[in-house]
Each structure stands twice: as structure tokens, then as C-alpha cells.
Homo-oligomer: A and B are copies of this chain.
Amino acid sequence: MKNVNSDLAYNHIRRRILNGDYLPGASLITEELSKEIGVSRTPVRDALRQLEVDGLVSIRPRLGASVKQVNLKEFREICEMRVALESHAAGLAAISRSQEDLAEMEYALQAMHPLSAKLREADREDDDVISALIREDVRFHVAIMTAAKNDLMKKEIHRLHLINRVVSGPAAMSQGARTEAKATMDANRASVMAEHESIFRAISAGDSAAAKHAMGEHIQSIIDKSVRLMSRAESRVLARELSQEEMLYTI
């Protein structure tokens, strides 16, 4: 995208969705958005179609656009795609990684150690430390995607991440679920660190099969955790779609 107004609309709507200003299911009316952004309906339509491709918006012909609501089936499918792509990417990274790639991964790991330790010792959760930890976690994963030397794959993985973020991110979670998520993350922090280490060792050693396997386990465990969390959170956006049959019991 580089069409000034379409770009404007795209970035505006995208930011607001990722921000949680428009919650999953909320309808996105082109005219309202065009007034809000200050462009005509045409670039807004373009932006919504692009966002549909990104998986953040769903468009039903003649009925308009709304923020994508992911049901359990789709969530599972997205997760399976992530396992397939991220583990394969780790395998490629073990073959194609440069010294710079390895240095970036090592930097992230070195940075995470003290941060993780600090959280384990402290009684209270420190948001700054947590966000720093998340940043380094992302850095580690991005470094691997970069090392795999496959832009298409990197882009697709990023796309899937963003969809998951919209449905399982802060915006889509209740307050209770959010604190519980923090607790679980805290408990599993040590195992995450160990998994990162073994992924890094395999990539560093150039052992493609081992890297692939280690990453597969890692992503799978992350997914298992978030699925468990979301089920408990009774998140509206993750609710299974009820069949016509089941809807008969609404009395």
C-alpha cells in the first residue's frame, strides 16, 4: 500500500482494532469511518478489504464489515498453521543463519535471563519488566524468522500472530482472565527459557531437525497454554458458534 488515502484509512482502522477500540464483532460502517478519518468511502472500502485479507476484518456482501470474530475451530486452525510454519522456519534458520542472526538471538536470550529472574524474585508484577521481557521474546522469534531467509513465510507467521493477538490480546480478555494469564505465564517462565535455549543451541549447531522439533514443542506448549486460558476466560469472542438446533433452547 502506498496510496496516500487508502493507506491512511488502513493504518487508522488497523491501529484501532489492534488497540481494542473496536472489539471483535463490532460492525465497521464505511460512512462513519470515512467521516472519522476524513476521506471518502472508496479508500475506506479498500482498507477494509485489505484488512479482511489480513484476517482482522470479515466482510459479508451487502451486510458490511465487522471486526473478525474467531471461533474455536478457526483458532485451532490458525495455531496448527503456526506450528507448521514456525517449526519449519526454525529448521531453515539452522541451515541459513548468519553470524548476525545468531548474535541477535543471543542478545535476546542474554537480556531475558535477568528479567525473568527479577520477576521470579519480586512479589509484585512489574509491568515495565514484563513488557521488556515480551519485547526480547519477540526479538528472539523475529531473529529466527529472519534467519530462515524466507520473507513470505515471515510475513504469513506475522499475520497469524496478529490475528491471535486480536482474539486473545488484552482487548479480548476480561480482567480476571488477564490476571490469570499473568500468573500462568509466571509459572511457565522457567520452561519457556529452557525451550528458547534448546532452540538456540540447535540453530547455532546447524542441526535443522533438532531446531524444527524444539520449536514445534515450544509453539505447541504456548498454544496449549493460551487455549486453556481462553477456555477458562469464557471469552465471548472465542465462543463456539451455536447450531440452529441448539438455538432452540434459548427459552
Contacts and interface: CB of A to CB of B under 8 A. Distances in A.
A208 to B, nearest CB: 12
B3 A77 contact: no
A235 B233 CA distance: 55
Interface string A74-97: 101110110111011100100000
A133 to B, nearest CB: 28
Given A49-B49, A53-B53, A85-B85, A80 B150 contact: yes
Contacts of A81: 85, 150, 152-153, 156
A153 B49 contact: no
* Chain A interface helix/strand/loop/mixed: helix
A214 to B, nearest CB: 15
A151 B88 contact: no
A193 B1 CA distance: 45
A61 interface: yes
A2 interface: yes
A85 to B, nearest CB: 5
Contact of A84 (B49, B53, B85): B85
B88 A80 contact: yes
Interface in A89-131: 89, 92
A195 interface: no
Interface in A133-163: 150-153, 156
For the complex of A and B, list the 8 residue pairs with the smallest distance between their C-beta atoms, beginning with the closest.
Answer: A84-B88, A77-B152, A2-B61, A53-B53, A77-B150, A3-B61, A84-B84, A80-B150
28 contacts: A1-B61, A2-B62, A3-B62, A46-B49, A49-B50, A53-B53, A74-B152, A77-B150, A77-B151, A77-B152, A77-B153, A80-B88, A80-B92, A80-B150, A80-B153, A81-B85, A81-B150, A81-B152, A81-B153, A81-B156, A83-B88, A84-B84, A84-B85, A84-B88, A84-B89, A84-B153, A85-B85, A88-B88
